[in-house]
């Protein structure tokens, strides 16, 4: 190789090496990007490996007892042994039974009618009513399928019963709120919350960092304005944007997919506004922590990922382990998912949604408090 060629080749590697060293130093200084590189695959692996389960277990179940009998208790025990059902409430009136299903406190209701044991002993093959909250067809379907096995084996060891030519009783199942198991009725309400979470986080996560990168933060800091006033000024326009997005999604769901709204549109609008504000406050918090727009976007993605996986949108919430459910309860999308499905499909009112409404409000206040405290009054 001639001298000039060797010199050019040597210069090429020196310049490339210098650029490599510069990028590694920059990556080392950008801790948020480095954390994203490590944490995103780690979080996905842990969530899909441990938290996601398409076959939910121990789903909360209410029992309406019209009579207290050994046979009734045996059947309930057999249902719990399937690990699909877990009796959490025992009620004495049908109104309480219906209210628990409507509010989402339980996913199944079992009614043991009066005279059930006598009918079994006479060989009349009576029916036991099982009502399922079918707003999530995946969660309800597998549990209802297991009932046939329960009917076959539940009373095998009971004495004094007629010789079975088949099951001694039957389960009469009733899937409420989505009896046809229409996937659109489950997906479209969930999409409202998912799309709002994604867009609202990104909008406000970039708000403060954009001001810094454009050099307009100096002017903002020079004004006689408090951090709370700055936050409101940045959040309120996007509340209107989010409200418009929600209205478009609901209208498309009704017109194209036939999704009903059995509840109050006004209540849906009010609680959607609360959910939008909570997400905007969280996004604004990210913008006060991030040093640039790239970091703000990365934080939004990191927060959006568990929202999608642990809220009950993609996978049944009841199928997750307890630790994953505790994390899910700290995410706004989990509570809004319950709210929007309950209002649209069940006709729920505010009293049915107290817990999730208060949880959303609390998450919004926490995010706002952190954002105000973190807001930098100087450019350092």
The tens place of each residue's pLDDT in the chain, 380 residues long, gives 555 666 566 666 776 777 777 667 766 666 666 666 666 677 666 666 666 666 777 888 898 888 888 888 888 888 888 888 888 888 888 888 888 888 888 888 888 888 888 888 888 888 888 888 888 777 777 788 888 778 777 777 776 677 666 678 888 888 888 887 788 888 888 889 999 998 888 888 887 777 777 766 667 667 777 777 777 887 888 888 888 888 998 898 888 888 888 999 999 999 999 999 999 889 888 888 877 787 888 888 888 888 888 888 887 887 788 888 899 999 999 999 999 999 999 989 998 899 999 999 999 999 888 888 877 554 44
- Do both 321 and 227 map to the same domain? yes
Can you give the pLDDT at residue 275? 95
- Do both 189 and 151 map to the same domain? no
CB 319 within 8 A of CB 54: yes
Cα torsion for 318, 275, 105, 362, to the nearest 10°? Answer: 100
- Do both 71 and 135 map to the same domain? yes
Which of 160, 176, 192 is the last residue in one of the domains?
Answer: 176
For the chain, strand residue ranges (E) read 59-65, 85-91, 108-112, 127-133, 170-176
Does residue 334 belong to any structural domain of this protein?
A: yes
Rounded CA separation 165/160 (Å)? 15
- Do both 67 and 134 map to the same domain? yes
- Do both 162 and 230 map to the same domain? no
Q: Which residues contact 260 (CB under 8 A, 6 or more apart)?
A: 185, 254, 344, 345
Can you give the pLDDT at residue 378? 43
- Do both 193 and 318 map to the same domain? yes
Phi, psi values for residue 218, rounded to 5°: -60, -45
Does residue 319 belong to any structural domain of this protein?
A: yes
Can you give the pLDDT at residue 77? 87
Rounded CA separation 250/212 (Å)? 36
Residue linked to tokens 């179940």: 61
Can you give the pLDDT at residue 97? 84
Domain that holds residue 92: 59-176
Residue linked to tokens 């009513």: 129
Can you give the pLDDT at residue 217? 66
Distances (CA, A) of 362 to 103, 167, 377: 20, 50, 26
- Do both 145 and 211 map to the same domain? no
- Do both 254 and 118 map to the same domain? no
Sheet holding 108-112, edge to edge: 85-91, 59-65, 108-112, 127-133, 170-176
Q: Which of 79, 85, 86, 80 is nearest to 149 (CA)?
A: 79
The tally of domains found in the chain comes to 2
- Do both 95 and 162 map to the same domain? yes
- Do both 319 and 367 map to the same domain? yes
Residue 216, Ramachandran bin (φ over 0: left; ψ between -120 and 50: alpha; else beta): alpha
The total of other beta-carbon atoms located within 10 Å of residue 49's CB is 8
Can you give the pLDDT at residue 365? 93
Can you give the pLDDT at residue 357? 95
């Amino acid at each position: 190789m001639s001298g000039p060629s060797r010199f050019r080749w040597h210069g090429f590697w020196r310049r490339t090496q210098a650029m490599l060293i510069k990028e590694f130093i920059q990556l080392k200084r950008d801790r948020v990007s480095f954390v994203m590189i490590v944490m995103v695959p780690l979080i996905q692996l842990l969530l899909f490996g441990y938290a996601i389960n398409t076959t939910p277990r121990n789903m909360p179940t209410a029992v309406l007892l019209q009579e207290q009998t050994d046979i009734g208790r045996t059947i309930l025990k057999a249902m719990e042994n399937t690990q699909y059902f877990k009796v959490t409430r025992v009620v004495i009136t049908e109104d309480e039974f219906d209210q628990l299903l409507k509010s989402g406190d339980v996913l199944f209701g079992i009614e043991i009618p009066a005279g059930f044991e006598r009918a079994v002993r006479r060989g009349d093959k009576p029916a036991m009513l099982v009502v399922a909250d079918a707003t999530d067809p995946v969660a309800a379907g597998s549990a209802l399928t297991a009932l046939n096995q329960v009917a076959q084996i539940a009373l095998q060891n009971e004495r004094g019963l007629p010789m079975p030519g088949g099951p001694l009783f039957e389960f009469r199942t009733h899937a409420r709120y989505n009896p046809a198991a229409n996937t659109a009725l489950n997906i479209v309400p969930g999409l409202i919350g998912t799309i709002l979470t994604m867009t609202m986080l990104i909008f406000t996560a970039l708000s403060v960092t954009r001001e810094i990168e454009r050099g307009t933060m100096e002017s903002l800091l020079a004004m006689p304005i408090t951090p709370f006033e700055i936050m409101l000024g940045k959040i309120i326009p996007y509340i209107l944007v989010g409200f418009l997005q929600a209205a478009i999604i609901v209208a498309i769901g009704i017109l194209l997919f036939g999704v009903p709204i059995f509840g109050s549109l006004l209540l849906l609008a009010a609680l959607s506004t609360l959910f939008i504000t909570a997400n905007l406050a969280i996004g604004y918090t990210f913008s006060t922590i991030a040093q640039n727009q790239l970091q703000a976007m990365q934080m939004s993605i990191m927060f959006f990922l568990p929202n999608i996986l642990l809220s009950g949108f993609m996978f049944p919430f009841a199928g997750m382990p307890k630790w994953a459910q505790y994390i899910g309860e700290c995410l706004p999308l989990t509570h809004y998912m319950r709210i929007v499905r309950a209002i649209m499909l069940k006709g729920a009112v505010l009293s049915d949604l107290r817990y999730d409404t208060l949880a959303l409000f609390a998450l919004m206040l926490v995010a706002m408090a952190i954002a105000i405290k973190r807001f930098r009054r100087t450019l350092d």
